[in-house]
Structure 1
Amino acid sequence: MNPHSTSSAADAVGAGCAEPAELELTDEDILDALTQIPGYIDISTEDFRTIYHLAWRHAVARLRAEQRGEADEVA
């Protein structure tokens, strides 16, 4: 299973289910991911977590819009 796959979220959104549970990332999760990226990224774990949560909410809104056929309306 691809850890970056959105299929379970898409399936839940497409099935009209409640919003899928958002995975909570630990500082260790974030720091491990950052060590796998070449170069240096000047970002705190809290800023990364904020970006992750905003991106997750946007992805859920996008998937819902796609299910309704309104993909172009999601900014």
Structure 2
Amino acid sequence: SIFMRPFIGTHPSGTVRIGDMLDTDLMTAIDGLYVCDASVFPEALDRPTVLTIIGLGKRLAKHLAGPDSEILTSIERKIST
């Protein structure tokens, strides 16, 4: 016979929480080591995490590149067209 179980989806997260192990710029206690994935969420979410992770990645990229980064400005211009 074929065993079937109900679909169960999970979004593992919360292992390197912002505030506990990271500062608000996603940096750990090790200088220059950043974390930017679902592990930074304070608790598991009940919905997909991908859009939030993309937003965090964009924010971290801007932080790392600096406020006057021509590279990010060029990329954002290409994306918006």
Structure having greater relative contact order (Cα 8 Å, sep ≥ 6): 1
* Higher alpha-carbon Rg: 2
More helix by share: 1
